[in-house]
Amino acid sequence: MFVDDDVYIEVYIRWRVEQAIAASIEAMFITLGQSDLPLRQDPISWDKLVGMIISHFNNILGVEINTRRVEVGPPPEFLARTVEQLDAFHEGRKAFTVQEMSTLVGHLSHIATTSRWLAHLLSHLYTSISAALKVNCAYEIDTIKAFRQAMKKVAEDESMTQNQRTFTQGYINRTVHESKRSHFLNSTAIEELRLTRLVLSSESISLRPPIAHLVSRDPTAEAWGDSCLDAAGGFSLRCSFWWYLEWSEEIRRHTLRFHKNNKNGKLISINVLEYASVIINYAAMSLGLVSVNGLKSSLKRSK
């Protein structure tokens, strides 16, 4: 289910498809009431139902689903528009407006529904938008009397009807979002935009993951790990391992203890050290699961 849309998967035998369609129509009328056209419109969009293409490959709610390859991804034209927006945020650009950034992040968030890794690159963009909205709001309060009055009315006037409150809040939100005031991009946001543009523009990186990768499930095992500027460690109870690794003197001398910034290009970020612990944990988990499964197979053979 997608809010008011539903998707069915059925073996392509005509009578089975017709039966599935009939069952979905019946379910809709049972849920929302029987058809009564003199009083109200039917809850089913008959035009969409008749015009929908039955195929292994379809565009549903802005996502292309291929049930033969069992994969999902953004449509090429949508991806091209997103890359075009990213090109406007080139590395030499230092400022943005809320409307520009919100439009871009909206596109990226949609792609992130299927390419889950992208969601981890959007944190600083969301932070930039949030900070910019606060600045815009403060600026409008200082400069526009009608905006100040609207803010005060929403906060203090308890006699407002729900429609009045919704209308006033809509005016406040539009004013803040459509402000032409510019805001500076921080270095982290610039780097995230650069990485995102490179990945989405690359022909060698697939943006069509298997549907199974998007399904939440209980893990076979879990592991925890962390890093600091001196060492890293991790463990897994299920796979029966723990590890501890002190960084070499050469690595330590390139951390924040000895470099305040990365102007000379020699700083090793704490993010890199934490990522190293993730890789080591992944390798340990892989070995641990292979060993556990091998042991189980041996026990079965011995029985």
pLDDT digits (tens, 9 = 90+) for 127-176: 889 999 999 999 999 998 999 998 898 888 888 888 888 999 999 999 99
- The overall average pLDDT reported for the chain is 87
Residues 6+ apart with CB under 8 A from 57: 64, 65, 66, 67, 68
pLDDT in tens, 78-90: 999 999 999 998 8
Q: CA nearest 226: which of 245, 248, 253?
A: 245
Q: What does the alpha-carbon distance between residue 189 and residue 123 come to, in Å, rounded to a whole number?
A: 9
Q: At what angle do helices 76-88 and 187-201 cross, to 10 degrees?
A: 150
Q: What does the alpha-carbon distance between residue 289 and residue 238 come to, in Å, rounded to a whole number?
A: 9
H helices present in the chain, as ranges:
14-32, 46-51, 76-88, 98-112, 123-143, 145-156, 162-177, 187-201, 249-252, 270-302
Contact 276, 227 (CB under 8 A): yes
Q: pTM to 2 decimals?
A: 0.69
Say what the pLDDT of residue 240 is: 86
Q: What spatial distance separates the first Cα and last Cα of the chain, rounded to whole Å?
A: 47
Contact 117, 108 (CB under 8 A): no
Question: If pLDDT is split at 50, 70 and 90, which confidence band does 235 have?
Answer: very high
- What radius of gyration do the chain's Cα atoms show? 27
H helices present in 57-97, as ranges:
76-88
The Cα angle at residue 291 between residues 287 and 294, in degrees rounded to 5: 135
